Amino acid sequence: MPTETTTPVVQALSGLGRTVCVTGAGGFIASWLVKRLLEKGYTVRGTVRNPDDPKNDHLRALEGAADRLVLLRADLLDPDSLHAAFSGCEGVFHAASPVTDDPEKMIQPAIRGTQYVITAAADTGVKRVVFTSSIGTVYMNPYRDQNKPVDDTCWSDLEYCKKTENWYCYAKTVAEQSAWEVARMRRLDLVVVNPVLVLGPLLQPTVNASTDHVMKYLTGSAKTYVNAAQAYVHVRDVAEAHVLVYEAPGAHGRYICAESTLHRGELCRILAKLFPEYPIPTKCKDEVNPPAIGYKFTNQRLKDMGMEFVPVLQCLYETVKSLQEKGMLPVRPTNDQDQRLLTA
């Protein structure tokens, strides 16, 4: 059984005396990013839509938050609120975005919101923006060579995203393309991180979309798994990658942030081995076609910068333990406990 990994040793306090802003600070990834930035000594402005909402209390409880974290009210569709949040910051981490396939909720905040963020950053003299994009802007393209790993030169096909009604990938792709375009016009230094599906312990008090990807296999709500494969990465690695590319003077372009690919069946088998007490599906919904392979990728650009990725098995283990510890997933008796109960 894996043991939980500990927080990486705090290296040099490279953020001392430096102020940065993180948009959507209360989200799954952004919360870990705020934590890491505070650990490194940065002063952090976190934008949230409602600073008084108790769902953001976990941020105020982070080490260093009392002295170096301010939560500011901002909405992606309100440029003035972004302008006010970025004023006086040397860097901006743009993580806020809806994570949904509902076009009504997704398209405007992701695309227009990102354009407003880049514009506000340029207007306020921010030195570098790190944008949390997605692998969804990279691999969703039926015309690419499926045997070749996707890299930072690949782009999703917008017509294909529309045709398949993959509005998340559509909006993130247009958002990232607009970010590059506005940054080029405004001569703003932009670096992009493209994470694959992100898992790991939660800091925030609610289950986010990517965590639900695992949760549904533990609660019994998914009776079968789909014939699909995809790549995973640990949330702490995603936060680390953001800080790494922010701090490296020569960082540029897009950085695919991924550990390894699993077929959904393999994911369920690992979960069942680690947590046999849950009703994890054993059957594939598609019993006709061969198992899907999933996209191949390269994470070499981040490895070249010294990134070491947490293995996916560890990542799955920590995700489930965190859901249990937060009371989001009922702890069920294990075989051992059953045995103890029987012999008690």
Size of the site for ligand NAP (CB under 6 A): 26
Residue 48 binds ligand NAP (CB under 6 A): yes
- Mark out the alpha helices in the chain (DSSP H runs): 28-39, 57-60, 65-68, 79-86, 103-123, 158-163, 167-186, 209-219, 235-247, 264-274, 300-303, 312-325, 335-343
- Paired strand residues for 23: 94
Q: Which of residues 222-261 bind ligand NAP (CB under 6 A)?
A: none
Alpha carbon of 301 to those of 67, 152, 305: distances in Å? 35, 9, 7
Residue 33 binds ligand NAP (CB under 6 A): no
Q: Which of residues 175-214 bind ligand NAP (CB under 6 A)?
A: 195, 197-198, 208, 210
Q: How many angstroms separate the CA atoms of 115 and 282, rounded?
A: 44
Residue 144: how many other CB atoms lie within 10 Å? 16
Q: How many angstroms separate the CA atoms of 94 and 111, rounded?
A: 12
* Beta carbon of residue 119, minimum distance to ligand NAP (angstroms, whole number): 15
* Beta carbon of residue 198, minimum distance to ligand NAP (angstroms, whole number): 4
Q: Could you confirm whether 172 is annotated as catalytic?
A: yes
Pick the binder of ligand NAP from 15, 26, 200, 265 (CB under 6 A): 26
Q: Which stretch binds ligand NAP (CB under 6 A): 10-18, 26-34, 281-289, 309-317?
A: 26-34
How wide is the angle at C-alpha 241 spanned by C-alphas 4 and 120, nearest 5°? 130
Residue 82 binds ligand NAP (CB under 6 A): no
- What is the widest separation between alpha-carbon atoms in the chain? 72
Residue 75 binds ligand NAP (CB under 6 A): yes
Place of tokens 């994911």: 267
Residue 69 binds ligand NAP (CB under 6 A): no
Closer Cβ to ligand NAP, 105 or 332, answer by number:
105
Contact (Cβ atoms closer than 8 angstroms) between residue 30 and residue 23: yes
Pick the binder of ligand NAP from 15, 20, 22, 28 (CB under 6 A): 28
**Active-site residue numbers?**
172
Residues of this chain that interact with ligand NAP (CB under 6 A) are 24, 26-30, 48-49, 75-77, 95-99, 109, 113, 132, 134, 172, 195, 197-198, 208, 210
